[in-house]
Amino acid sequence: MLRCLTAGESHGKGIVAILEGVPAGLAVETAAINKELKRRQSGFGRGKRMKIENDTAEIISGLKNNSTLGSPITLLIKNKDASIEKLHKVLAARPGHADLAGLLKYGFTDIREVLERASARSTAATVGIGAICKKLLKEFGIVIASKVLSVGGGFSKNGMKAKIVEAIKNKDTVGGIFEVIAKGVPIGLGSYVQADRRLDSRLAAGIISIPGIKSFEVGLGVGYAAGFGSEVHDAIYYNNQKKYFRLTNNAGGIEGGISNGQDIVLRACMKPISTLMKPLDSVNIHTKKSAKAAVERSDICVVESAGVVAEAATAFVLAEAFLEKFGSDNLNDIKQGFKNYLKRIC
């Protein structure tokens, strides 16, 4: 079973990720992980923290000679800005953030104790884990990519950039929509037999759990609401060359909680970042008097990097489902099982 655990605060000593269940015999290079971490830090609209941190991962367990041992893999991403003990107290919650709910839940008297872990800095661990899962999936011809579809209601490259520039000028933030596509996913990942085994529900959980994601859809998504069944379902065909095939992919590669062999197409909406340079009204948690929300070092737009994080979350879910289907101990054994399966279903 593939599982992961992450730890670390935004301005603590570092971010840690433990990934358990990767089969023995997979070649893993830190350069590939660091490439994904760099992608996460890229994109127009990122803040000053990206100029401070140059995220690189150190693998401190689970490998010998760059090959997995089947034991847990531990990643360490050190923070250059490890100032958690010195930073000022935060007393006015930011609307849209975990600040107030987290403070009341845990009984803190300083919002700093919430935002340090609730920060999207934790997604560095997600991307590190996802890079290893991507490497595993690539062994079986599965590739995952993402792209930005819109920012602030702008859809063209120039239109999206203009929205970010406008947000910078107005000391505001802006969100948008991105798409993740997984190609080469075989028929049969996931299951309809229990709700928590459905591939779409697992992907939804993985992507919605990314800080700032507020909506999720598969394939045509909400577009299903506007058409008749005869217009939106993907007709099935067969010939000796292609075997079973479709001419459309409104289902987004998943039917009944199971991958159907087509590209898996996912979309999600990233909300505008909660920290505003012109802060909204809030309340001082000690005096209960009106105050402006706290201002922390932050980004203006992270839609592009949210797509990178969503790729990683998708890779983890698909790798987990893949290993459930084909075994999880030894890479060569899994390849043989996969080969036999493809022969059976063709």
Pairing mode, strands 264-270 and 243-245? unpaired
Please report the pLDDT score of residue 329 as a whole number. Answer: 95
Q: What is the DSSP letter of 122?
A: G
CA dihedral 308, 63, 6, 76 (to 10 degrees): -80
CA 311 to chain centre: 5
Torsion 276-278-280-285 (CA) sign:
positive
Residue-wise pLDDT tens digits, 81-99: 999 999 999 999 999 999 9
Conformational region of residue 133, where left means phi above 0, alpha means psi within -120 to 50, and beta covers everything else: alpha
Please report the pLDDT score of residue 297 as a whole number. Answer: 82
Residues in the chain: 346
Spatial separation of the C-alpha atoms in residues 296 and 275, rounded to whole Å: 6
The SS3 call for residue 113 is: helix
Query: CATH number of the domain that 312 lies in?
Result: 3.60.150.10
Tokens of 262: 């087509």
Q: Which residue has the tokens 């598969």?
A: 218
What is the rounded average pLDDT for all residues in the chain? Answer: 96
Residue 18 CB contacts under 8 Å (≥ 6 apart), including other chains: 4, 5, 6, 72, 73, 74, 75
Range of 242's domain? Answer: 3-345
What are residue 130's phi and psi, to 5 degrees? -60, -35
Residue-wise pLDDT tens digits, 259-315: 999 999 999 999 999 999 999 999 999 999 999 999 988 899 999 999 999 999 999
Please report the pLDDT score of residue 53 as a whole number. Answer: 72
What are residue 88's phi and psi, to 5 degrees? -65, 160
Please report the pLDDT score of residue 97 as a whole number. Answer: 96
CA dihedral 303, 156, 146, 32 (to 10 degrees): -80
Residue-wise pLDDT tens digits, 30-76: 999 999 999 999 999 886 665 667 899 999 999 999 999 999 999 99
Asked if 279 contacts 95 with a C-beta cutoff of 8 angstroms, the reply is no
C-alpha triplet 31, 35, 37: angle, nearest 5°: 115
CA 190 to chain centre: 19
Asked if 185 contacts 210 with a C-beta cutoff of 8 angstroms, the reply is no
Residue-wise pLDDT tens digits, 169-219: 999 999 999 999 999 999 999 999 999 999 999 999 999 999 999 999 999
Name the least confident of 48-52, 78-82, 161-165: 48-52
Please report the pLDDT score of residue 111 as a whole number. Answer: 98
Query: To which H or E segment does residue 187 belong?
Result: none
Work out the angle between the directed axes of helices 199-208 and 303-326 (0-180°, nearest 10). Answer: 150
Please report the pLDDT score of residue 52 as a whole number. Answer: 66
Q: Could you write out the DSSP letters of every residue in 85-104?
A: TTSPP--BPPTTSSHHHHHH
CA dihedral 36, 37, 38, 44 (to 10 degrees): 100
Please report the pLDDT score of residue 46 as a whole number. Answer: 80
Count up the domains in the chain and report the number: 1
Asked if 208 contacts 269 with a C-beta cutoff of 8 angstroms, the reply is no
Tokens of 305: 């990097």
Q: What is the DSSP letter of 112?
A: H
Type of residue numbered 134: K
Tokens of 242: 């292609």
Spatial separation of the C-alpha atoms in residues 34 and 42, rounded to whole Å: 13
